[in-house]
Structure formats: C-alpha cells, structure tokens
A and B are shown apart, each in its own frame.
Chain A
C-alpha cells in the first residue's frame, strides 16, 4: 500500500500569502490525477474522485485503495462512511456501496436520474452538498452547440432568446434538490454552468455560475426556489414559461441579482465549489468566510453580509498564479483545518492533481472584509493597520463599474470610473471610507495596497471587489446597465502599446490555453506562438481580428466584448516581443 508522501512546493511565492504553505498530495501512480471531487469521511479519511470515473479512499492507517471505477465523470461526493458513498456524475445521483466487505464497491443504486442528457460535452452535473434533513443539491450545465443524436428525455430545440448555450433536454441550466426519497425537485433556473453548489452553515443554498453568453462576469448567487438567475435557455422547462413574453428588459427585471460578481480576469473566469471556513482559526484569520476555487490559477475569498434582507458582499483574491495552478474546481476542508484542492481542467488546459493548503500561523496583513455603510465602506484587516497610513485618503483607490446583460459571450467593464474618497476615519483597527458617490448596481473595486500593519507587515492582498446591489436603506437600481460611453467614441489612433500590460492580460486571459511559454495546450489544439506554424506570421490587424472574434473551429472564444481595442493591441505587442516575431 502506498502511504501519503507530502512535499512543499511553494512558500509564500507567486501569489500565495506568506503565511500559507501549498503542498502537493502524492497520488497513486495507477490513478489518473484529474481529480474532480474531494470529501472527507466522518472518520477523517480522504475520499476523491477523478474525471475517469474512479473513487479512491486514503485510509489514514492503510493508505490508498480504489473504491469504485467506471462512473461517468463524477463532480461531487457525499461520504456516509468508507463503504457507502453518494456520487453525482453526468447521468445521475448514485449511491455506491461495498456490500460484501472486500473494500471495493459492488452495489450502484440510482437515486435520481430525472434530468435530460444528449451526450454533449458541456452537460456537466455538479454537486454535492447535503442538508441536515437528508436533501441533496446539485446543478446542471447547459449544452453547447452540436448535433443531437440521442437523448434521455424530450428534446426542445427552440432557443428562448438568442442564447449560445442551450437547454435542449429537461432541466439543463437548473439547480435542483433530491429529497431523501429520491424525488427530483427543480429549484431554480437561469444558470449557464452552475459549477459550484454549496450550503452555508445557516442552511442557505448558493451556486456559482460561469462567465459566458448572458453571464457578463461570473457570479455567486443565493439560490431560492422559483427564482431566475439570468440565462434564458432554461426558462423553457418552467411550468409558467411563455415564449411570447421574453425580452432582454423583461429578463433583467425577472432576474434575481447575484450576491457576488467576480470581475473577469483578476477574480477568475470559471468559479467552482464554494466551501465555508468553519475551522475556528485553524485555517487562519478568515473564519466564516467562503473560499471558492476557479478554473484559472486562483482561489478567492468571499465575505457576505445581509443588506435589506438580501445577501451581497465582497470578493478577494486569496491565492493565485503558479503556486496553485489551474483547475481548482472542487475543495474541502479537512478535519485538521487544512484545505484540499482538487484540480482538473477537463481537457480545456493543463492543470491536475490534489493540493493541500496549510496555515502556518505566520503574521498576515490582508484586507479581510468590506462592509457597507451609509456613505461608503468599512474596511477590516487581519492585523491592526498603521494608524498614520490608514488615515490618509491617498492610500485608497476606489473604482466602480458594471457589466452588460446581453447574449454575447461575457462583457467588458462598462461605465467605469474612479470614485473620490472624501474622508477617512479609523477606529479600533477598522477604516471607514466616505465616498463622493455610492451607487447601487455597481461593483466597487477598493484598493489599499500601500498599507502596512502597526508591526510593519506590508499588506499582501489589499484589493477587494464589493457587489453593491442595495444601499443600507434598501435603495436599489433596477435599470438595465447601458454603456454611457460608446466604444467607437474611444480614440483609436495608434497610441504606443504597453507590452507590460499586454503580458499581464496574456497571463490572465490567454495563458490558460496558449500556456505561459506560448507553446499552446496540445490537448485542446491551442495555437503555439513558437515554431513554424505560429500565427504571429499574420499582420497585427489579422491577429487583433482573431483575438476579437475568436475562432469557432478551434474553440477559442471571442475577446472583443471583454478586452478593449487598446488592450488587444497590447496583447499582440506582448506576443511579438515575448515569442519573437
């Protein structure tokens, strides 16, 4: 039997806070390392699933063993004990049991298979939290374009409103409940890819949704029965759906707003499973907050509050970059308070394995939380800030912006502008910012990157993004975001390009597929910028056109609605400088 061998690969480098250590968990050689689900048994044993359909258990005494195999891309586990595990995979929620006691599963029972299937590659089934009453919760991704050959369930091909991703079979794009009797209860609709489903300690259900068509930037929503969360495709399975009453404006009115919008790029692009830190300090100074992994090389933190009875709050980058790697779609806290991160990029890029994040207890100065006030925000830090620095308004930079709600893939930031900090006050280590304006319906970026603690520790992450849906008095703004400044009004003269900025944008948006060294992920056929077939042989205009419009035949999404023309020019300039043509 193999025993766990752990080694440290990073120490406060490359985007990880200095008081966290990231370890690579050694997996058995015979296991595919595309880890797609992670959980712990009541006895504290680690249980993981991988994309190839295996379930493996690491017994603390005897090491790894394969419990089951042959499942269809599992993306969530619930462990009753080491012989009884629930798994959600593409076709169903299955109860997998070892009845004869030989350590390997021999019983596979269908708990529910009530949703539609066509075999489309985007038809993921996500999960799998369970509440104290025994109900399971999950989410179903939409189908992408492609021929429908066979299906489970009736087929409805007609689009609802110009969506690119479709809900062709029942309940694709829904979040659901499965009760203890195995009854499937569709709860809420309007999702594109609800890749992360989580239950808060208070029993509230949350889901993440991934940026794409009708999702300008990724979100975290509080799921409630009967609510609609934005993507129109899944509406057709609602009993009161009427195709004649659909318009973008009406959908915007109907849409329940997300608690958190993750600004695309700095806060990832495809969030996974939310997990709550209930470690009471074993994982550092973020007890009660939510950690969310992302397909990109990022794990973020979320601090929620209730304003006028509704959740909203702030998100912060926690770990990013090479130290964590890509594919962070599933996470679980271990009994010892460490955080396990299951990684798979599912063929889209490169990133796989299992990592363990450990709080070392070293001092850490971070922007912990952002809370709304009548005139701005209160900032809370993990250490008491230097009072002299903290009291200076010039330390803080605030910016606000919105995203489109439209059928296009993603959205650039619109209506973006700086917001003046008119007054700063400090009390008991908290900083209160009074702003010149506070407008509901915007995301506020708050930066305090030059702050230090009273002990001289420089702030390691001083940026947070607050999703301001409501003011304290409940005032909100339900108007559809409209860009006040048209793109064609931007001066498009050939300004000098910014190669450094282009490099940052490349790392945020392009490196996932084209790789940091520009050689392109072979698994998905991403172009290599190095070598005889390099697209850098094209003109600048030609390259810009490709970045803007994408390449459907290669699966490259369009970035024209995400990046400005100037930003695309910067990226092209970076490509030429970095990869030599």
Chain B
C-alpha cells in the first residue's frame, strides 16, 4: 500500500504537469528547513523550498523533485527526501529586509498564488506588502530561478543578504552590490536570478 501511494503520487504529479503547467507545491516537513515549509517543483526539473518562518528560499535543486513517502507512511513523521542535486542554500533568517540590512525586518507570511510556471508568495515586511514571484529559467546552458520582488514602498531601500554559494551565482540588473548585500531602491519591482553554475 505504501508503494502504491508513492506511485499514485507520481501519477498525480504527471497529471498536474501535463494539464496545467503549474508547479507542484507541497507543504510538509522538509530537511534543513523550518516545519511546514513549502516545496515547489517545476516541470523543467528546477525546484526549491520556501521557508515561511525564515522568510526566504532555503535551498534550490535540480532533479526529480521529492519523495514524500517518509512523510505519509507510518505513525512518525520523517522529512521528505529531496531528489536531485542542491545548488543553492541559505540558512540566514530574513534574508530580504527593508530599510536597514543590519536589522531583521518583521516578517508576516500571508500565503501564495499558484499559476502557470510560477508561484507568488505574499508577505508583509515591517507591515508593508511584498510579492515574491518565482519562475524557472532553463535553457541548454543555463538553469536558474528568476525571482521578482514587488514592493509597496519604492522609496524605501530593500536589501537581499547574500551568503557564499559555491555552486550558484546571484545577480540582479536593478541592484547595487554593497559588500554581501544587494541593495534595491527607487522601483516597484526588482529581479534577482539565482543561477546554477
């Protein structure tokens, strides 16, 4: 029965991918991320985990996505297994901040929308709404997550804190790099690309 559940899960995944073009989205216990984080998988093999407690992407990988059997079978919950190769990791709390990069902004998670080849996370940063849209970029020579931040206070400065990434490069056409931060200001939307090196 357990094997059947996993197999049916695969069937469900394929059905969703073929007919809707939407990413797969599962909220469950995931390794190296706070309880009830959100795993998102695109049909081109790109995937990531968004931590609604940390307020950011915990890691990203390429591969078949997830094995949910440990979370579904038996009495005790074990984390789902990530299937594939992780190329980006970030464990810092609240990596996207408003105003001052030294001060953690107050983060309140408000939910998400799922659409064709995209997911949009909604949250408040120090009481101000932010939309974070994540879409996959994959070509013959490039695998990347494209993140678009939409902010309500374009006059304010926003900061994305960076941690060392041996297998990924993080760039933004709208940002100014200051030490280990990307600084954004003066616009309503900002793009960031996390590219697998």
What residues make up the interface of A, taking CB atoms closer than 8 Å to B? 29-30, 32, 51-53, 69-72, 89-92, 94-95, 99, 102, 104-110, 113, 117-121, 123, 150-152, 346-348, 523-524, 555
Contact = CB atoms under 8 A, between A and B. Distances in A.
A70 B72 contact: no
Contact of A109 (B2, B28, B36, B110): B110
B132 to A, nearest CB: 14
Contact of A30 (B8, B29, B76): B8
B20 A52 contact: no
B24 interface: yes
Contacts of B113: 99, 106-108
Contacts of A104: 20
B185 to A, nearest CB: 28
B24 A94 contact: no
B83 interface: no
Nearest to B111: A109
Interface string B63-89: 000001000111111010000000000
Given A71-B27, A523-B74, A91 B115 contact: no
Interface of B: 2, 5, 8-9, 11-12, 15-16, 20, 22, 24-29, 33-36, 52-53, 68, 72-77, 79, 109-115, 122
28 contacts: A30-B11, A32-B5, A32-B72, A52-B5, A52-B68, A53-B28, A70-B26, A72-B36, A91-B27, A91-B35, A99-B113, A106-B114, A108-B111, A109-B111, A109-B122, A110-B109, A119-B29, A119-B35, A119-B79, A121-B75, A121-B76, A121-B77, A123-B35, A151-B34, A151-B35, A347-B75, A348-B75, A524-B75
Contacts of B15: 30
Given A70-B27, A106-B115, 12 more contacts: A69-B12, A69-B26, A71-B27, A107-B114, A119-B77, A120-B77, A150-B35, A151-B35, A152-B35, A152-B53, A347-B74, A347-B76
Q: Which of B9, B33, B53, B75 has the most CB of A within 10 A?
A: B75
A121 to B, nearest CB: 4
A217 B20 CA distance: 49
Contacts of B25: 70
Nearest to B13: A69
A118 B33 CA distance: 11
Q: Please give me the 6 A-B residue pairs with the lowest Cβ-Cβ distance, nearest first.
A: A91-B36, A119-B35, A347-B75, A109-B111, A117-B35, A121-B77
A69 B11 CA distance: 14
Contact of B28 (A72, A106, A117, A118): A72
A347 B73 contact: yes
A321 B122 CA distance: 48
Nearest to B78: A121
B50 to A, nearest CB: 12
B54 to A, nearest CB: 9
B162 to A, nearest CB: 22
Nearest to B11: A30
A110 B110 contact: yes
B8 A32 contact: yes
Given A346-B75, A347-B74, A348-B75, A118 B110 contact: no
A104 B73 CA distance: 26
A118 B35 contact: yes
Nearest to A117: B35
A106 to B, nearest CB: 5
B72 A51 contact: yes
Contacts of B2: 523
A523 B122 CA distance: 38
B35 A30 contact: no
A107 B111 contact: yes
B77 A117 contact: no
Q: Which of A71, A94, A108 has the most CB of B within 10 A?
A: A108
Nearest to B110: A110
A102 B122 CA distance: 22
A327 to B, nearest CB: 13
A36 to B, nearest CB: 12
Given A30-B11, A150-B35, A152-B53, A72 B72 contact: no
Nearest to B68: A52
B112 A108 contact: yes
B74 A152 contact: no
Nearest to B77: A121
A561 to B, nearest CB: 22
A4 to B, nearest CB: 20
Nearest to B25: A70
B12 A94 contact: no
B29 to A, nearest CB: 5
B75 A113 contact: no
Contacts of A347: 73-76
A510 to B, nearest CB: 16
Contacts of A152: 34-36, 53
A226 B180 CA distance: 49
A488 B9 CA distance: 55
Contacts of B29: 119
Nearest to A146: B76
A72 B22 CA distance: 19
Given A32-B5, A108-B111, A113-B109, A53 B27 contact: yes
A347 B76 CA distance: 8
Q: Which of B5, B16, B113 has the most CB of A within 10 A?
A: B113
A32 B25 CA distance: 17
B24 A150 contact: no
Contacts of A91: 27, 35-36, 52
A108 B40 CA distance: 14
A113 B123 CA distance: 13
Contacts of B11: 30
A120 B35 CA distance: 9
A324 to B, nearest CB: 20
A32 B73 CA distance: 11
Given A108-B112, A348-B75, A70 B24 contact: yes
A173 to B, nearest CB: 17
B123 to A, nearest CB: 9
A565 to B, nearest CB: 29
A578 B188 CA distance: 74
Given A30-B8, A523-B75, A524-B74, A110 B35 contact: no
